Structure formats: structure tokens, C-alpha cells
Amino acid sequence: MGKPKTIIEKIWDQHVVHQEDGKPDLLYIDLHLVHEVTSPQAFEGLRLKDRQVRRPDRTYATMDHNVPTIHRNVIKDEVSKTQMETLKKNCEEFNIPLADIDHPDQGIVHVIGPELGLTQPGKTIVCGDSHTSTHGAFGALAFGIGTSEVEHVLATQSLWQARPKTLNVKVNGKLGTGVTAKDLILAIIAKYGVRFGTGYVIEYTGEAIHSLSMEGRMTVCNMSIEAGARAGLISPDDTTVEFLRGKRHAPQGADFEKAAAEWKALATDEGATYDATVEINADEIEPQVSWGTNPGMVIPVSAQVPSPDDAETANEKDAINRALEYMGLEANQPISSVHIDHVFIGSCTNSRLSDLRKAADILQGNKVAPNVKAIVVPGSHSVKVAAEQEGLDVIFKQAGFEWRDAGCSMCLAMNDDVVPEGERCASTSNRNFEGRQGTGARTHLVSPEMAAAAAIEGHFVDVRKYSVPTA
């Protein structure tokens, strides 16, 4: 028996094509996901050099960033339209499977990968999108890349990558009722900052992590990049295996059982060591709300917005001042006193069926506050159909939400779903950067449950007051 290894080292070692002193490893890529925004220049690069796509069968494309979520086939923005048509032409030319805007499998790339069973434990997965870390929930090594790297993977199905350092984020205990995976990852980033993961691949471990559903795990891994880590993953267990059973692109029958055994064997060995470890206690975490302009500027819902006087350095003081000004908040103001204008439930962080169910549970029999405009954007067409079969759309609509078609939507507002300047949005997405949801828009990151409760009350509120004991 060799030295105990982490899952990160195991997957890495299984994918090294070529190793040479003084160079990064040449790593084989099992799955390359493609969308319309970060791929056109890569395909153009191939054409200029007369290169081919090495493995179209390991490549899968969809349209998500630009797509309208209302009046689906009327794309008013000509530039967006061209970008989407370009993806279609490129996929045709290079023979790449594409879930087009009208396709039943269309959706946010990080929602459909797992849904279709393309995402599997032990795979190396890349996409020209920083939230590719989402797929790490399955015990895959998944990370975002730039367009030059997209071109490189298209041409060679490989990437030069330096072996990453490993970071164990250990979550002790259990999350309380009404406290979600979103609150957990926000609390982790609030505690350790937006760059503690830089240079590392994170493995999330501990009781609270393995108690999460696959959807919850995806929410956690999704935001690894917000902590600076290109990838974050979770060792596969029975929850992982059962999620993948029967998925279209997963192995079937006896092959599935064989694969499942291999997947579980990838889990980090007893006694394996990491380059660094941080810990957090799940039972101390409250529902969270971001107050500032990066995903580390987060506080519990019971807390007050920080003051520049709390800063330890001049730069930090400056950052707090700038964030307060941009966000239109006062120092020491209770976050629960902050009134909102918009609610967005969606994005690759929180747009899956279970997210919609939990938000609908809170909204059932309630109404969205006057002056609040609320939309729900399912992560994929399949999520939308499944939600409609359960009648979730009716609950949302009766509460006063708009029920939209699938896409990235208001998470980054590349389509028409934009938060106007100076207005405030409770959003289940992943980034509260300046201008993210629209120029001058003010974003507060929350869980779907917290977003639903804020929609009802018109301001932030501890969702636990709505929690009904599960029958």
C-alpha cells in the first residue's frame, strides 16, 4: 500500500500525459464544456491555424449567458444574437454537440453537466467559465479557464498545469434548520477572505459537507472561485453515486456498479495530508447576507453592516468606505433594515429543482412585498419542466414572481435581465461585484430561502422565522 493520497492527487496522477523537469504537467482533459461568450475567439484561432477539434465527443456546448429568459426567440440585441449564432456555426463546423436555445437540454452549463450525467467523479473538467468549480461536487477536478486555454483544449484535449497545492476546508458539526449550503460557503469566505484559496485546490470535508445533498454540494463548490480557488471538490460517497444512477450519460447497468466502486475508491485516503487546512463549525453559522462589493463582505442576518472604524489597515478602511458608498449603506446599520427593490432566484449557484422547492416552501400562501420586482429563472429547461410538473411555477406566480426560461440571466445581466442603477437586489447568485447585475446595481447575495423571505417582507429577514417543522 502506497502513501495515502487525497482525491486531488489521485485524479491528478491519473491524468498526467507528460511530465518533464521545470515544466508544468501536461494534463488530459476528460470533458470540455463550452458556451457562447468565451469560445468564439478560440474557434477563430483554430481556423486561422487550420487546426481541428481533437475530441468533439468529449466536448459539449450550450447557450446560457446571453439567452433571453422571456420572449425566447426575440433576441433584440444584435451583438448577442451574433454571438449565439457564431456558437451554432462553430459547433456545426467542428461537429460538437450543442444544446441550442430551443433544445430540451439547454440550460446553464454548470446545471446541465450534472443533470445529463456528463459530470462524473474522477474526471478532469474544464470550461471557459470560472464557476466550473461547481462540478467538483461530484469528486471531479473541475476548473475555469480562459479563451486561450479553451482553444488549447479544443486542439489538444490537454492543458499544461502546475500541480496545485491542496487545501482542506473542514466543516465540523451540522448546519442548523434553515441554514443552507449557500450560507455555509458565504460564511467560509467571510471568515477566511476572498483569496485564501488562491493557488490551491480545495477539498471540502467533514460531517456537514457529507450531509449535504448533491445540489447543496454544487452550491458550495460553485463558490470556491470566490475564495480564490480555481477548483473545489468533495470526495464521492453514496449520495454522489445515487444522484448519477440512471443519468443519461452515466454508465448503465453492470457498468454503473463497476464505475460506482471506482468512484468511491477515489475518496481521500485515511491519513492523507494537505498543504493547508482551515476549519469552521457549521452549527455556529446563521443565514448570511452580503453587504459589500465582494463575496467576502458577508455578515449574519442578525448583524450590522461593518464600519470603517473596524478596519485594521488604511487599505481595508478605504475598501469598506468605497463599498458602503457604492452600496448606499450606513456603517453599523442592521442588515435586516435594508430594503430591496428586486429579487433574483437563479444562477449556477442556486437554480436547481431543490433550490426552487425551498424558495416555494417559504412563498406558499404569501405575497411579494409591494414595490419589489421578483423573478425566478430555473437553471435549465429540464429544471423548469420538472418544477412545473410539481406546480412550483403556480406558487411562484401566485406570490407575485415572474416565472422565466432558463439561463444565466440576472447573475451577470448580459441579457435584458438587468437591475437598474442604484436599485437593490436580493440575489441567489455568486458575485456582488460593482456593476455585476447592471451598472450601479447593488447586489446582496443570499440563499434561495432568504431571497424568498426578503421578497415577502421587502427587506432582509431571518428566514428561520418562516421555517415549518418538516412533517
Partner 1 sequence: MEPIRTHKGIVYPLNRANIDTDQIIPKQFLKRISRQGFGQFLFYNWRFHNDGEPRKEFSLNDQKYKNASILVAGENFGCGSSREHAPWALQDFGFKVIIAPSFADIFYNNCTKNGILPVRLTEEQTEKLINNAESSTYSITVDLENKVVYDSEDFKATFDLPDYQREMLLNGWDEIAVTLTHDDKITQFEEQRILK
Interface residue list for partner 1 (CB under 8 A): 17-18, 22-24, 26, 28, 37-38, 40-41, 44, 49, 51, 54, 65-66, 77, 79-80, 82-83, 86, 128-130, 144-149, 151-152, 155-158, 160, 162, 194-195, 198-199, 225-226, 228, 230, 294, 315, 318-319, 322, 412-414, 421, 431, 433-436, 439-440
Map grid coordinates 468529449 to a residue.
Answer: 58
Q: Which helix (H) or strand (E) holds 203?
A: strand 200-205
Q: Output DSSP code: residue 110.
A: H
Give the neighbor-by-neighbor strand order of the sheet with 200-205. 231-233, 200-205, 165-172, 276-281
Cβ closest to partner 1, residue 117 vs residue 144: 144
Cβ closest to partner 1, residue 130 vs residue 240: 130
Smallest separation (angstroms) from partner 1 to the CB of 432: 10
Cβ closest to partner 1, residue 29 vs residue 250: 29
Cβ closest to partner 1, residue 104 vs residue 422: 422
**Cα angle, residue 343 at apex, residues 337 and 345 outer, rounded to 5°:** 130
Smallest separation (angstroms) from partner 1 to the CB of 124: 12
Smallest separation (angstroms) from partner 1 to the CB of 50: 12
Q: Tell me the Ramachandran region of residue 172: left when phi exceeds 0, alpha when psi lies from -120 to 50, beta otherwise.
A: beta
Cβ closest to partner 1, residue 158 vs residue 382: 158
Cβ closest to partner 1, residue 30 vs residue 393: 30
Please state, in angstroms and rounded to a whole number, the distance separating the CA atoms of residues 222 and 8: 17
Smallest separation (angstroms) from partner 1 to the CB of 36: 9
Report the sign of the C-alpha dihedral through residues 351, 355, 361, 363, in that order.
Answer: negative
Smallest separation (angstroms) from partner 1 to the CB of 148: 4
Q: Is the distance from CB of 289 to CB of 298 less than 8 angstroms? A: yes
Bridge partners, residue 339, by sequence: 459
Please state, in angstroms and rounded to a whole number, the distance separating the CA atoms of residues 25 and 216: 32
Smallest separation (angstroms) from partner 1 to the CB of 15: 8
Smallest separation (angstroms) from partner 1 to the CB of 154: 9
- Distance, first Cα to last Cα, the chain: 48
Q: Is the distance from CB of 78 to CB of 427 less than 8 angstroms? A: no
Cβ closest to partner 1, residue 49 vs residue 465: 49
Q: Which is nearest to 230 in space by CA: 315, 164, 309?
A: 164
Quick one: angle between helices 40-48 and 147-156, nearest 10? Answer: 50
Smallest separation (angstroms) from partner 1 to the CB of 63: 12
Smallest separation (angstroms) from partner 1 to the CB of 59: 14
Smallest separation (angstroms) from partner 1 to the CB of 348: 12
Cβ closest to partner 1, residue 350 vs residue 354: 350
Q: Which is nearest to 3 in space by CA: 275, 268, 277?
A: 268
Q: Are strands 442-445 and 401-403 parallel, antiparallel or unpaired?
A: unpaired
Cβ closest to partner 1, residue 145 vs residue 461: 145
* 268: phi then psi, degrees, rounded to nearest 5: -55, 135
Cβ closest to partner 1, residue 148 vs residue 302: 148
Q: Which is nearest to 426 in space by CA: 375, 358, 387?
A: 375
Residue type, position 136, single letter: G
Cβ closest to partner 1, residue 79 vs residue 254: 79
- Any residues with CB less than 8 A from the CB of 237 and at least 6 apart, and which? 210, 264, 267
Smallest separation (angstroms) from partner 1 to the CB of 188: 16
Please state, in angstroms and rounded to a whole number, the distance separating the CA atoms of residues 297 and 308: 13
**Cα angle, residue 357 at apex, residues 65 and 428 outer, rounded to 5°:** 40
Smallest separation (angstroms) from partner 1 to the CB of 151: 7
Cβ closest to partner 1, residue 189 vs residue 363: 189
Q: Is the distance from CB of 133 to CB of 232 less than 8 angstroms? A: yes
Q: Output DSSP code: residue 369.
A: P
Q: Which is nearest to 135 in space by CA: 152, 149, 148, 118?
A: 118
